[in-house]
Amino acid sequence: MVIGVPKESFPGERRVALVPAAIPNLTKAGFEVVIEADAGLSAGYPDADYVSKGAKIVAERAEVFRAADVVVQVLCHGSNDRTGAADLPLLRSGQILVGFLRPLGAVETVQQVAATGVTAFSIEMMPRTTRAQSMDALSSMATVAGYKAVVLAANTLPRLFPMLTTAAGTITPSRVFVIGAGVAGLQAIATARRLGAVASAYDLRPAVKEQVQSVGGRFIELPIVAQDAQDARGYAKAQDEAFYQRQKELLGKVVAESDVVIAAAVVPGRKPPVLVTREMLHKMAAGSVIVDLAAERGGNCEVTRAGEIVAENNVTVIGYINLASMLPYHASQLYARNVSAFLLHLVRDGQLHLDAEDEIARETLITQGGEIVNARVREFFKLPALNS
């Protein structure tokens, strides 16, 4: 069975789906690996490194798709809303596609993937279980993004992060406030603490309090309680507008006292809630920084513009998207480990094994035989149930 790795085509995307170090385990399992020329160069992996590990380099993108039984990408059509559609004519019926597909984004996009006949697996739908932990690419990329968010903030903030005692006097530490203590948020807290800042965090899920404290953060508790705060996968669930309004009122004081706010409150398949209003931003000290990790889907800050830096009332709001791509060497390394573990789980003796009792395969399988077959996706888009 041949794995094909095309070069990522999303503008500015520097990651690659497989790194050279991942290839020996795959070839040992019976796979052949074909890489598009220079696919890993932007991430720091030249073609020669792939060849030395047993991969074959091909010059043309179409040739990768023709040769591959399994196509592995970082951003497939769906998550790549700029150039991903150009790959649809290159896909064929029965081929396996693995990558980020954003299956809860737009039903038309998922239907376009299904129409090619590919058996498509969406890596971001991986169940959050111990068994699937080594395949959880969403968490891996969130870890990178959380780290990078704090580094961007530290580079932008006109203050030092750590407390310093000098001959000229003592400098107080910066205050970093993280909204949303998921994987990205927890990594942001840990990174801020390593840089010497005082870090605190809020999440509508009370269960994450111990996790925040375990990485050195102070958990902010508000006198409101979310109803049914998290889903079965551990992600935050959307609340009604009355809850978010009260939440914003209570968060305002904490935001105003913070030098840096890292906004990382994302609800899968939903528009992120606006938790930092323009009014709240105007109460922050001059020079403060907000990094909005939810920018791509609308943002947690009212003034955020996706892909841009906005300055308002002397506060800088960073709305960069795809932060993991800013650290492509290690982001690709982590992603390659996740995808390799997933492929070795799915394919045995050169054949794809789909077991209806296997939660990993069942939850990630999105399209097969020209149909959207994932129950969660069909329910989300209110599609009729498939006949058994």
Full DSSP string of 313-352: TTEEEE--S-GGGGSHHHHHHHHHHHHHHHHHHHEETTEE
β-strand pairing of 119-122 with 96-100: parallel
Please state the rounded mean pLDDT for residues 26-55.
Answer: 98
Structural domain spans, the chain: 2-125+328-380, 142-321
State which amino acid sits at residue 283. K
Contact 17, 339 (CB under 8 A): yes
Is pLDDT above 80 for 133?
Answer: yes
Is pLDDT above 60 for 279?
Answer: yes
User: Is 47 assigned a catalytic role?
Assistant: no
Residue 236, φ and ψ in degrees, nearest 5:
-65, 145
Domains 2-125+328-380 and 142-321 share a fold: yes
Per CATH, domain 142-321 is 3.20.20.80: no
Please state the rounded mean pLDDT for residues 328-344.
Answer: 98
Contact 355, 361 (CB under 8 A): yes
Please report the pLDDT score of residue 227 as a whole number: 64
User: Is 349 assigned a catalytic role?
Assistant: no
Is pLDDT above 70 for 134?
Answer: yes
Residue given tokens 């150039």 in the structure block? 83
> Which of the residues 50, 95, 122, 136 is marked catalytic?
136
Distance of alpha carbon 112 from alpha carbon 191, whole angstroms? 40
CA 90 to chain centre: 26
> Which of the residues 9, 112, 194, 235 is marked catalytic?
235
User: How many CA atoms does the CB half-sphere of 379 hold within 13 Å?
Assistant: 4
Please report the pLDDT score of residue 206 as a whole number: 85
Residue 127, φ and ψ in degrees, nearest 5:
-65, 145
> Which of the residues 49, 66, 112, 128 is marked catalytic?
128
Distance of alpha carbon 81 from alpha carbon 87, whole angstroms? 12
pTM, full prediction: 0.94
Q: Give the H or E element holding residue 111.
A: helix 107-115
User: Is 128 assigned a catalytic role?
Assistant: yes
Which percentage of the chain shows pLDDT scores above 70? 96
Is pLDDT above 70 for 45?
Answer: yes
Mean pLDDT of all residues in the chain? 95
Please report the pLDDT score of residue 131 as a whole number: 96
β-strand pairing of 260-263 with 175-179: parallel
Tens of pLDDT, residues 193-250: 999 999 999 998 888 999 999 999 999 988 776 666 666 666 667 677 777 888 888 8
Residue given tokens 């700029």 in the structure block? 82
Please state the rounded mean pLDDT for residues 1-13.
Answer: 98
Please state the rounded mean pLDDT for residues 246-269.
Answer: 91
Per CATH, domain 2-125+328-380 is 3.90.650.10: no
Residue 196, φ and ψ in degrees, nearest 5:
95, 5
> Which of the residues 133, 231, 270, 278 is marked catalytic?
133
User: Is 136 assigned a catalytic role?
Assistant: yes
Residues with Cβ within 8 Å of residue 27, at least 6 apart in sequence: 33, 54
Please report the pLDDT score of residue 97 as a whole number: 98
Distance of alpha carbon 303 from alpha carbon 278, whole angstroms? 6
User: Is 329 assigned a catalytic role?
Assistant: no
Please report the pLDDT score of residue 222 as a whole number: 83
What's the N-to-C CA distance of the chain in angstroms?
A: 30
- Please count the other Cβ atoms lying within 10 Å of the Cβ belonging to residue 337: 19
Tens of pLDDT, residues 151-172: 999 999 999 999 999 999 999 9
Is pLDDT above 60 for 388?
Answer: no
Beta bridge partners of 373: none
Is pLDDT above 90 for 70?
Answer: yes
Q: What Å distances lie between residue 27 and 1, 3, 22, CA to CA?
A: 10, 10, 9
Is pLDDT above 70 for 380?
Answer: yes
Distance of alpha carbon 348 from alpha carbon 342, whole angstroms? 11
Please report the pLDDT score of residue 149 as a whole number: 98
Please state the rounded mean pLDDT for residues 123-132.
Answer: 96
> Which of the residues 139, 187, 211, 239 is marked catalytic?
139
- Please count the other Cβ atoms lying within 10 Å of the Cβ belonging to residue 166: 7
